[in-house]
Amino acid sequence: MNEPEIYFHVGLGKVASTYLQNKVFNNLEGIHYIPKNKYRSSIEIIKKMGPKKYLVSCEMDRQFNDEVARFTSHFSNVKIIILFREHGGWIASQYRRYVKNGWHRNFEEFVTLDTHRQGMWDKKHLNFYSKIEVIEKHTQQKPLVLFHNELKEDPWVFFDKISQFSGTSYTKENISLSKVHTSYTEKQLLVLRSFCRKYVGYIPRGRRNRILNWLMFRPWWAFFHLVMYVAIIFPKSWVPKAPLIAPDYLKKVNDLFLDDWNKINQYAQNNNP
């Protein structure tokens, strides 16, 4: 092997990436795993260790195009693993994380389907097939396309696909099927969103220094979790009546991207090993 053989898991975020990183990838045999917390140094690690087989993992969302181009420019043999979930469920999960971190815009303001309005997420970020095109452009290879619902329905078949694609093996007894994180309820998120709208407003984030950014946000993170834990005992009359995510708007998201969803499913059927 003159060149490193690299398997690059690129997410997306909110499609069980943390579970795979903590429960599955680190238990694959016959490959050197570079976890998410070492991703920023992964290129240097691979170049230093030389021609071996590697698995690199990192979730990518809005930075997807630039990051895939940057990483693959350093190596000639990169095979990509990517996971998808239905568009509405995926962006709804992104929104729940946004609310959990203390932000309080409505879902309709978080992701905009109207080109005349500016939201935190634009509908171009939900064009999943374009991500496959970016992968093919920069690797000259077809990725392994997997789906979140496959993992939920039959995890062992799902793991087998990763194992076969990467030429690795695993021992069932070493892999736990338990979740990494517990999800917060709609009630808890509704209470937190309402609280932050009334009493918090601005949250000090966005500094370039990642350590300083983390240190500044950590006390807020702890406080927001405290609010959500207290929300468990709130009487129903104290909880906002409207749903966290309007079902009709979520349906619009899925309807708008139905062709894109069918297209990536067909791609997986035609091209997965």
DSSP-assigned letters across all residues of 94-128: HHHHHHHTT----HHHHEE-STTS--SEEGGGG-H
Tokens of 145: 């396309």
Looking at the structure of the chain, the number of domains it has is: 1
21: Cβ–Cβ under 8 A, 6 or more apart, which residues? 35, 36, 57
State the CATH number of the domain containing residue 59.
3.40.50.300
CB 35 within 8 A of CB 25: yes
- The amino acid that residue 123 corresponds to is K
- The pLDDT score that the predictor gives to residue 179 is 82
Domain-located, residue 29: yes
Please, what is the angle between helix 247-256 and helix 87-100, to 10°? 130
Q: What is the mean pLDDT of the chain?
A: 91
Domain-located, residue 154: yes
pLDDT tens-place string over residues 10-22: 989 899 999 999 9
The β-bridge partners of 54 are 6, 32
Domain-located, residue 210: no
Closest by CA position to 97, among listed 83, 111, 86:
111
Least confident window among 28-42, 47-61, 112-126, 219-233: 112-126
Domain-located, residue 49: yes
Domain that holds residue 9: 5-85+126-179+258-271
Model confidence pTM above 0.85:
yes
Domain-located, residue 192: no
